[in-house]
């Protein structure tokens, strides 16, 4: 009941109406102006294609392949970002020695080196996971480093004044402080993971939604391409939504910073 009420919230209702109106206009214009489906397919044609994907079951193996790439790549990339980011933040010598090179490495466009990974790791799952992990790694790394740097100096003094050891300050203050930006990094990485997997599949693959887009494009099935794009954006939204939900649970003190109700 409350969920239904939230859907009926005027702002949500307005944006929902806007979407419906846009889709209706799109459909209307396509019909009225006889736009070729090769240029811009109408929404109903895309919906029909999407339905047939699931009815015939052709999409499942591709969907599964891409999902595995996204999740494995995300997990490895994020874990590497966390570990190396924490080391850079907490061990000064690592920061001095390693960080400049990592930043330099970051300037290389990952898309440009994707073909290399195909050569090194083959057309299978591994190359896609490596590319996805690499794309997730940097935003995560930067977020972790920034997170550890964001600890409030006055809070550090407070811990010191109450006699906290370095370890206690780390566990009780620095890590929780860093969480806010770490979760921001996770949010960014979750969206980039989808891009990473698709880029990898574009360069060379035997299965996956990116591979499917290339194949459909080749046979000029534009409604099919649009249908896959919808599936991809749903995956992206789901990943992002999941991260936000987890973040809201673990950094509950952040978004509730509204003025106190009790005086």
Partner 1 sequence: MVNFAKQNAQRRSDPSLDRSGPALIRIASLEKRFTTRSGEAVTALSNVNLDIRENEFISVVGPSGCGKTTLLRILAGLTQASSGSVQFGGEQITEPRTDVGVVFQQAMLLPWNTVLANVMLPAHLKNDRSVATAKRAEHLLAFMGLKDFTKKYPFELSGGMQQRVSICRALMREPRILLMDEPFGALDAMTREMMNMELMRVWSEERKTVVFITHSIPEAVLLGDRVVVMSPRPGRISEVVDVDLGRPRTLQTMGAPRFGELCDYIRSIFGSESNTVHAL
Asked if 147 and 179 touch (Cβ cutoff 8 Å), the reply is: yes
Q: Which of 153, 219 has the CB closer to partner 1? A: 153
The single residue among 43, 155, 199, 246 that binds partner 1, judged by CB under 8 A, is 155
Pick the stretch among 52-60, 142-150, 171-179, 205-213 that binds partner 1 (CB under 8 A).
171-179
253 binds partner 1 (CB under 8 A): yes
Q: Which of 101, 252 has the CB closer to partner 1? A: 252
91 binds partner 1 (CB under 8 A): no
Asked if 89 and 145 touch (Cβ cutoff 8 Å), the reply is: yes
The single residue among 37, 43, 176, 236 that binds partner 1, judged by CB under 8 A, is 176
The single residue among 51, 61, 168, 206 that binds partner 1, judged by CB under 8 A, is 168
CA end-to-end span of the chain: 32
246 binds partner 1 (CB under 8 A): no
171 binds partner 1 (CB under 8 A): no
Q: Which of 157, 245 has the CB closer to partner 1? A: 157
Number of residues engaging partner 1 in binding (CB under 8 A): 24
CA distance 141 to 115: 24
The closest alpha carbon to 179, from 244, 251, 255, 83, belongs to 251
Asked if 204 and 118 touch (Cβ cutoff 8 Å), the reply is: yes
In terms of residues, how long is the chain? 263
CA distance 88 to 156: 19
Where b means 16+ CB within 10 Å and e means fewer, 187-198 reads: bbbbebbbbbbb
The single residue among 12, 31, 149, 160 that binds partner 1, judged by CB under 8 A, is 160
257 binds partner 1 (CB under 8 A): yes
The single residue among 16, 158, 229, 237 that binds partner 1, judged by CB under 8 A, is 158
CA distance 140 to 155: 25
CA distance 217 to 226: 10
Q: Which of 60, 253 has the CB closer to partner 1? A: 253
Q: Which of 93, 161 has the CB closer to partner 1? A: 161
- Is the four-CA dihedral 31, 35, 37, 42 of positive or negative sign? negative
The H or E element containing residue 36 is none
Pick the stretch among 54-62, 112-120, 142-150, 170-178 that binds partner 1 (CB under 8 A).
170-178
Q: Which of 106, 169 has the CB closer to partner 1? A: 169
262 binds partner 1 (CB under 8 A): yes
CA distance 87 to 102: 13
Q: Which of 191, 251 has the CB closer to partner 1? A: 251
The single residue among 1, 154, 219, 249 that binds partner 1, judged by CB under 8 A, is 154
- Give the residues lining the site for partner 1 (CB under 8 A): 154-155, 157-165, 168, 172-173, 176, 251-253, 256-257, 260-263
């Amino acid at each position: 009941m409350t969920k239904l009420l939230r859907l009926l919230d005027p702002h949500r209702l307005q944006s929902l109406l806007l979407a419906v109106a846009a889709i209706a206009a799109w459909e209307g214009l396509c019909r009225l102006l006889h736009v070729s489906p090769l240029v811009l397919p109408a929404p109903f044609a895309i919906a029909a294609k999407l339905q047939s994907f699931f009815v015939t079951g052709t999409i499942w193996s591709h969907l599964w392949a891409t999902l595995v790439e996204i999740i494995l790549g995300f997990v490895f990339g994020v874990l590497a970002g966390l570990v190396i980011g924490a080391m850079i933040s907490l061990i000064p010598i690592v920061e001095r020695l390693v960080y400049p090179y990592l930043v330099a490495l970051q300037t290389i466009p990952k898309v440009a080196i994707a073909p290399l990974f195909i050569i090194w790791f083959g057309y299978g799952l591994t190359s896609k996971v490596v590319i996805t992990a690499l794309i997730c790694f940097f935003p995560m790394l930067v977020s972790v480093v920034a997170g550890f740097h964001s600890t409030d100096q006055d809070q550090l003094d407070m811990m010191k004044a109450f006699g906290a050891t370095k370890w206690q300050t780390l566990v009780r203050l620095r890590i929780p402080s860093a969480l806010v930006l770490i979760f921001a990094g996770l949010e960014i990485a979750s969206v980039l993971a989808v891009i990473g997997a698709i880029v990898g599949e574009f360069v060379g693959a035997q299965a996956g939604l990116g591979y499917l887009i290339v194949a459909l494009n080749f046979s000029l099935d534009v409604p099919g391409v649009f249908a896959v794009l919808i599936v991809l954006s749903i995956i992206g939204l789901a990943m992002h939504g999941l991260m936000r939900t987890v973040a809201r649970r673990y950094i509950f003190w952040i978004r509730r910073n509204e003025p106190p109700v009790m005086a």
